[in-house]
Amino acid sequence: MQVKQFPSIDSWGAAIAELWCARLTAHPTLRMCLPAGHTPTPVYAAMRRAVGDGEASFRQATIYLLDEYGGLHPDDPGRCGNMLRSQLLDGIDLPPRQYVHLNADETNLDPLCRASDQQLERGPLDLAILGIGTNGHLGMNEPGTHPGSLTRRVELHASTIAASARYLDHTDVPTWGVTLGMKALLAAHEVWLLATGPHKADIIARTVHGELGNAVPASLLRGHPNCVVWLDHEAAAGL
Protein backbone atom coordinates (compact mmCIF):
# COMPACT_ATOMS: atom_id res chain seq x y z
CA MET A 1 0.00 0.00 0.00
CA GLN A 2 1.55 3.25 -1.14
CA VAL A 3 0.40 6.43 0.63
CA LYS A 4 0.50 9.80 -1.16
CA GLN A 5 -0.15 13.02 0.76
CA PHE A 6 -1.02 16.43 -0.66
CA PRO A 7 -1.04 19.89 0.97
CA SER A 8 -4.47 20.85 -0.40
CA ILE A 9 -7.58 19.32 -1.93
CA ASP A 10 -6.78 21.17 -5.17
CA SER A 11 -3.34 19.58 -5.51
CA TRP A 12 -4.79 16.22 -4.43
CA GLY A 13 -7.55 16.32 -7.05
CA ALA A 14 -5.23 17.55 -9.79
CA ALA A 15 -2.71 14.75 -9.16
CA ILE A 16 -5.36 12.03 -9.22
CA ALA A 17 -6.94 13.42 -12.39
CA GLU A 18 -3.54 13.69 -14.07
CA LEU A 19 -2.72 10.04 -13.42
CA TRP A 20 -6.24 8.97 -14.41
CA CYS A 21 -5.86 10.81 -17.75
CA ALA A 22 -2.52 9.06 -18.26
CA ARG A 23 -4.10 5.67 -17.57
CA LEU A 24 -6.89 6.38 -20.09
CA THR A 25 -4.40 7.50 -22.73
CA ALA A 26 -2.22 4.42 -22.26
CA HIS A 27 -5.24 2.11 -22.03
CA PRO A 28 -8.33 3.61 -23.73
CA THR A 29 -10.46 0.51 -22.97
CA LEU A 30 -9.87 0.95 -19.21
CA ARG A 31 -12.52 -0.83 -17.12
CA MET A 32 -13.03 0.85 -13.78
CA CYS A 33 -15.44 1.07 -10.89
CA LEU A 34 -16.22 4.47 -9.44
CA PRO A 35 -17.73 5.65 -6.16
CA ALA A 36 -20.35 8.28 -5.61
CA GLY A 37 -20.17 10.53 -2.53
CA HIS A 38 -18.53 13.80 -1.64
CA THR A 39 -14.85 12.79 -1.69
CA PRO A 40 -14.31 12.35 -5.45
CA THR A 41 -16.16 15.55 -6.46
CA PRO A 42 -13.00 17.62 -7.23
CA VAL A 43 -11.48 14.72 -9.15
CA TYR A 44 -14.61 14.26 -11.25
CA ALA A 45 -14.73 18.01 -11.96
CA ALA A 46 -11.12 17.86 -13.16
CA MET A 47 -11.91 14.84 -15.37
CA ARG A 48 -14.88 16.65 -16.93
CA ARG A 49 -12.57 19.56 -17.73
CA ALA A 50 -9.93 17.20 -19.14
CA VAL A 51 -12.50 15.58 -21.44
CA GLY A 52 -13.80 19.01 -22.50
CA ASP A 53 -10.23 20.13 -23.30
CA GLY A 54 -9.54 16.96 -25.30
CA GLU A 55 -6.95 15.71 -22.79
CA ALA A 56 -8.87 12.55 -21.91
CA SER A 57 -11.58 10.37 -23.40
CA PHE A 58 -13.84 7.67 -21.99
CA ARG A 59 -15.15 6.73 -25.46
CA GLN A 60 -13.77 3.19 -25.27
CA ALA A 61 -13.80 2.82 -21.48
CA THR A 62 -16.27 1.00 -19.22
CA ILE A 63 -17.48 2.35 -15.88
CA TYR A 64 -19.06 0.19 -13.18
CA LEU A 65 -20.98 1.93 -10.42
CA LEU A 66 -19.48 0.76 -7.11
CA ASP A 67 -22.68 0.67 -5.07
CA GLU A 68 -26.26 1.89 -4.91
CA TYR A 69 -28.83 2.57 -2.21
CA GLY A 70 -32.05 0.61 -2.14
CA GLY A 71 -35.48 2.05 -1.50
CA LEU A 72 -34.90 5.56 -2.89
CA HIS A 73 -36.99 7.02 -5.72
CA PRO A 74 -35.29 6.56 -9.11
CA ASP A 75 -34.98 10.35 -9.46
CA ASP A 76 -33.63 10.94 -5.95
CA PRO A 77 -30.48 13.06 -6.36
CA GLY A 78 -29.01 11.19 -3.36
CA ARG A 79 -28.92 7.89 -5.22
CA CYS A 80 -25.33 6.89 -5.99
CA GLY A 81 -26.00 6.55 -9.71
CA ASN A 82 -27.64 9.98 -9.85
CA MET A 83 -24.73 11.55 -7.94
CA LEU A 84 -22.20 9.96 -10.30
CA ARG A 85 -24.27 11.07 -13.28
CA SER A 86 -24.39 14.72 -12.24
CA GLN A 87 -20.78 14.83 -10.98
CA LEU A 88 -19.13 12.98 -13.85
CA LEU A 89 -21.12 11.01 -16.42
CA ASP A 90 -23.11 13.94 -17.80
CA GLY A 91 -19.86 15.79 -18.57
CA ILE A 92 -17.79 13.06 -20.22
CA ASP A 93 -17.94 11.15 -23.49
CA LEU A 94 -18.69 7.66 -22.11
CA PRO A 95 -21.21 5.85 -24.38
CA PRO A 96 -24.26 4.96 -22.23
CA ARG A 97 -23.99 1.24 -23.01
CA GLN A 98 -20.52 1.26 -21.37
CA TYR A 99 -21.95 2.32 -18.00
CA VAL A 100 -22.79 -0.71 -15.85
CA HIS A 101 -24.89 -0.30 -12.75
CA LEU A 102 -26.85 -2.67 -10.60
CA ASN A 103 -30.47 -1.63 -10.60
CA ALA A 104 -31.43 -1.66 -6.93
CA ASP A 105 -35.10 -1.36 -7.93
CA GLU A 106 -35.19 -4.89 -9.34
CA THR A 107 -37.19 -7.21 -7.08
CA ASN A 108 -34.88 -10.14 -7.77
CA LEU A 109 -31.37 -8.80 -7.39
CA ASP A 110 -29.52 -12.12 -7.16
CA PRO A 111 -29.32 -12.88 -10.92
CA LEU A 112 -28.10 -9.33 -11.60
CA CYS A 113 -25.41 -9.65 -8.94
CA ARG A 114 -24.30 -13.05 -10.27
CA ALA A 115 -24.11 -11.70 -13.83
CA SER A 116 -22.01 -8.76 -12.64
CA ASP A 117 -19.60 -11.06 -10.76
CA GLN A 118 -19.30 -13.39 -13.75
CA GLN A 119 -18.41 -10.43 -15.97
CA LEU A 120 -15.78 -9.25 -13.48
CA GLU A 121 -14.37 -12.76 -13.12
CA ARG A 122 -13.92 -13.05 -16.88
CA GLY A 123 -12.16 -9.68 -16.93
CA PRO A 124 -11.15 -8.07 -13.63
CA LEU A 125 -11.35 -4.31 -13.25
CA ASP A 126 -8.27 -2.44 -14.42
CA LEU A 127 -8.83 0.26 -11.82
CA ALA A 128 -11.00 0.40 -8.71
CA ILE A 129 -11.41 3.95 -7.40
CA LEU A 130 -12.86 3.86 -3.88
CA GLY A 131 -13.92 6.18 -1.10
CA ILE A 132 -13.84 5.14 2.54
CA GLY A 133 -16.52 5.36 5.21
CA THR A 134 -15.61 6.54 8.71
CA ASN A 135 -16.18 2.91 9.76
CA GLY A 136 -13.73 1.65 7.11
CA HIS A 137 -16.27 0.40 4.61
CA LEU A 138 -15.44 0.15 0.90
CA GLY A 139 -18.50 0.62 -1.26
CA MET A 140 -21.12 -0.89 1.03
CA ASN A 141 -18.81 -3.65 2.23
CA GLU A 142 -19.33 -2.93 5.91
CA PRO A 143 -17.10 -4.00 8.83
CA GLY A 144 -17.17 -7.79 9.13
CA THR A 145 -17.37 -8.33 5.36
CA HIS A 146 -15.48 -11.41 4.17
CA PRO A 147 -12.61 -10.64 1.74
CA GLY A 148 -14.16 -13.15 -0.69
CA SER A 149 -17.60 -11.51 -0.58
CA LEU A 150 -19.53 -11.28 -3.85
CA THR A 151 -21.75 -8.58 -5.31
CA ARG A 152 -24.90 -8.58 -3.22
CA ARG A 153 -27.60 -6.84 -1.27
CA VAL A 154 -26.36 -5.58 2.09
CA GLU A 155 -27.92 -4.12 5.21
CA LEU A 156 -26.19 -0.85 6.12
CA HIS A 157 -24.53 -0.16 9.46
CA ALA A 158 -25.93 2.60 11.62
CA SER A 159 -23.02 4.96 10.88
CA THR A 160 -23.47 4.46 7.12
CA ILE A 161 -27.20 5.14 7.41
CA ALA A 162 -26.47 8.31 9.38
CA ALA A 163 -23.81 9.39 6.85
CA SER A 164 -26.19 8.86 3.91
CA ALA A 165 -28.38 11.68 5.26
CA ARG A 166 -25.70 14.10 3.94
CA TYR A 167 -26.71 13.23 0.39
CA LEU A 168 -30.45 13.56 0.87
CA ASP A 169 -32.87 16.47 0.99
CA HIS A 170 -35.35 14.40 3.04
CA THR A 171 -35.20 12.20 6.14
CA ASP A 172 -36.26 8.88 4.59
CA VAL A 173 -32.74 7.43 4.81
CA PRO A 174 -31.87 4.14 3.08
CA THR A 175 -31.17 1.09 5.24
CA TRP A 176 -29.82 -1.24 2.56
CA GLY A 177 -27.98 -1.20 -0.72
CA VAL A 178 -26.25 -3.23 -3.40
CA THR A 179 -22.48 -3.28 -3.66
CA LEU A 180 -19.70 -4.84 -5.67
CA GLY A 181 -18.12 -7.39 -3.36
CA MET A 182 -14.65 -7.34 -1.83
CA LYS A 183 -13.60 -10.17 -4.15
CA ALA A 184 -14.05 -8.04 -7.28
CA LEU A 185 -12.42 -5.00 -5.66
CA LEU A 186 -9.39 -6.94 -4.42
CA ALA A 187 -9.04 -8.56 -7.88
CA ALA A 188 -8.69 -5.16 -9.62
CA HIS A 189 -5.27 -4.65 -11.20
CA GLU A 190 -4.94 -1.28 -9.48
CA VAL A 191 -6.81 0.26 -6.53
CA TRP A 192 -6.93 3.93 -5.57
CA LEU A 193 -8.39 4.73 -2.15
CA LEU A 194 -9.42 8.39 -1.84
CA ALA A 195 -9.88 10.31 1.40
CA THR A 196 -9.94 13.97 2.39
CA GLY A 197 -10.82 15.95 5.48
CA PRO A 198 -10.24 15.67 9.23
CA HIS A 199 -13.20 13.30 9.74
CA LYS A 200 -11.31 10.61 7.78
CA ALA A 201 -8.00 10.93 9.70
CA ASP A 202 -8.79 8.30 12.34
CA ILE A 203 -10.04 5.61 9.96
CA ILE A 204 -7.12 6.26 7.58
CA ALA A 205 -4.66 5.74 10.46
CA ARG A 206 -6.44 2.46 11.30
CA THR A 207 -6.47 1.43 7.63
CA VAL A 208 -2.75 2.04 7.14
CA HIS A 209 -1.32 1.11 10.54
CA GLY A 210 -4.04 -0.72 12.48
CA GLU A 211 -4.83 -4.39 12.60
CA LEU A 212 -5.28 -5.93 9.14
CA GLY A 213 -8.66 -7.64 9.01
CA ASN A 214 -12.28 -7.32 8.06
CA ALA A 215 -13.14 -5.23 11.15
CA VAL A 216 -11.82 -2.41 8.91
CA PRO A 217 -12.50 -3.58 5.35
CA ALA A 218 -10.18 -0.90 3.90
CA SER A 219 -7.24 -2.47 5.77
CA LEU A 220 -7.64 -5.53 3.52
CA LEU A 221 -6.17 -3.37 0.74
CA ARG A 222 -2.78 -3.73 2.47
CA GLY A 223 -2.70 -7.21 0.95
CA HIS A 224 -3.25 -5.79 -2.55
CA PRO A 225 -0.11 -5.61 -4.73
CA ASN A 226 -0.96 -2.28 -6.37
CA CYS A 227 -2.90 0.02 -4.06
CA VAL A 228 -2.39 3.77 -3.68
CA VAL A 229 -4.00 5.76 -0.86
CA TRP A 230 -4.51 9.39 -1.93
CA LEU A 231 -4.84 11.78 1.01
CA ASP A 232 -5.00 15.48 1.62
CA HIS A 233 -3.05 16.69 4.67
CA GLU A 234 -6.15 16.58 6.90
CA ALA A 235 -6.99 12.95 6.17
CA ALA A 236 -3.30 12.11 6.66
CA ALA A 237 -3.10 13.84 10.06
CA GLY A 238 -3.12 10.59 12.05
CA LEU A 239 -0.30 8.88 10.16
214 given a catalytic annotation: no
Judged by beta carbon, residue 40 or residue 61, the one nearer ligand PGA is 40
137 given a catalytic annotation: yes
User: Residue 37 CB, nearest distance to ligand PGA (Å)?
Assistant: 3
Catalytic one of 68, 76, 101, 137: 137
User: Residue 234 CB, nearest distance to ligand PGA (Å)?
Assistant: 13
Of 13, 133, 136, 217, which lies in the binding site for ligand PGA, with binding defined by CB under 6 A? 133
Residue 38 in contact with ligand PGA, rule: CB under 6 A: yes
User: Residue 203 CB, nearest distance to ligand PGA (Å)?
Assistant: 10
Residues 167 and 78: beta-carbon distance below 8 Å = yes
Catalytic one of 67, 76, 190, 232: 67
Distance set, CA 75 to CA 32, 83, 143, 168, 191 (Å): 24, 10, 29, 12, 30
Q: Residue 32, SS3?
A: strand
DSSP string, 182-231: HHHHHTSSEEEEEE-SGGGHHHHHHHHHS--STTSGGGGGGG-TTEEEEE
Residue 131 in contact with ligand PGA, rule: CB under 6 A: yes
142 given a catalytic annotation: yes
Residues 41 and 138: beta-carbon distance below 8 Å = no
- Host H or E run for residue 100: strand 99-100
User: Residue 36 CB, nearest distance to ligand PGA (Å)?
Assistant: 8
Residues 224 and 189: beta-carbon distance below 8 Å = no
Question: How many C-beta neighbours within 10 Å does residue 7 have?
Answer: 9
Residue 39 in contact with ligand PGA, rule: CB under 6 A: yes
Catalytic one of 76, 82, 141, 142: 142
Residue 42 in contact with ligand PGA, rule: CB under 6 A: no
Which are the catalytic amino acids? 67, 135, 137, 142
